[in-house]
Amino acid sequence: MTTTRTPRIPPLPPAEWPPPLRSLLADSHQDGPGRENLFGTLAHHPALAHAWLSLARVLTHEGTLGHRRRELVVLRVAHRLDAPYVHGRHRARAADAGLTAAEIDATAADPATHPWAEEDRLLLAAADLLAVNSPVTEGLWGRLARVLSPGQLVELLVLAGQTATMCATLNTLRTPSDRQPSLVVLLDRERCCSAGQCVGAAPEVFEQGERDGLVTLLVPEPDARYADEVRFAADLCPSGAITLVDHEETPHP
């Protein structure tokens, strides 16, 4: 990628977006922050923006691959295409989908350096090929077909293609990332011991399930006014399931 970050087509500010696009953004707060420059770029072509975001909504909210598989593929395609906007935007979403911090980092590394489960390895291998439009071998396709339904296989192809298109578009236009939040919270639910101390310290950010007692991350990128409570919650966690990424400091705990 070029080192300059001056956008070739500057994103339009929200005040200049057509009303339907502003409505789409307002209706998708659950997707998290970091969308304004993406939406502002698409706003130059409102009809295309609506069609693109309609497809994205189907893949995100009506897809059958599942959140974890989806984010794994998106992160890998973004890495292969050197797309920091897309990779950075999906890190928090991947954590919320159940990927651990180590797994998220490993999507940007040689798959052999991480002990991936077999299904994850298949998805990563497919993403590597689809990102650069290389043929999917019969052997790989057969193994994928044993774990994914026909509909999921189609969705995998469309998801990888949609991600690759967005990566190419944003890279070529040099679209800058939105201002990063000061604090990103990563929660490894597999390590959660259901102590619930984090919920007591920061109820705006964490919630404990009534059935299994496991903690759910409500806000991956909390408002700055909750920063002290979130840091206290991370310090209280007895299992070390909470990792905080401070964009001005190093990750901890």
**pTM exceeding 0.75:** no
Render each residue's pLDDT in the chain as its tens digit; 253 residues. Answer: 333 468 899 998 877 888 877 776 666 555 555 577 888 899 999 899 889 888 988 998 889 999 999 999 999 999 999 998 898 889 888 998 999 999 999 999 999 999 999 999 999 999 999 999 999 999 999 999 999 999 999 999 999 999 999 999 999 998 887 765 567 889 898 899 999 999 999 998 899 988 888 998 887 877 666 788 898 999 999 999 999 887 544 344 4
In the chain, the domains with their CATH numbers are: 14-62 (no CATH), 67-173 (1.20.1290.10), 183-246 (3.30.70.20)
| Nearest C-alpha neighbor of 52 from the set 199, 225, 44 | 44
Long-range contacts of 96-99 (CB under 8 A, 24+ apart): 96/67, 96/187, 96/217, 96/220, 97/67, 97/68, 97/70, 97/71, 98/67, 98/68, 98/189, 99/68, 99/71, 99/72, 99/75
Q: What is the pLDDT of residue 79?
A: 95
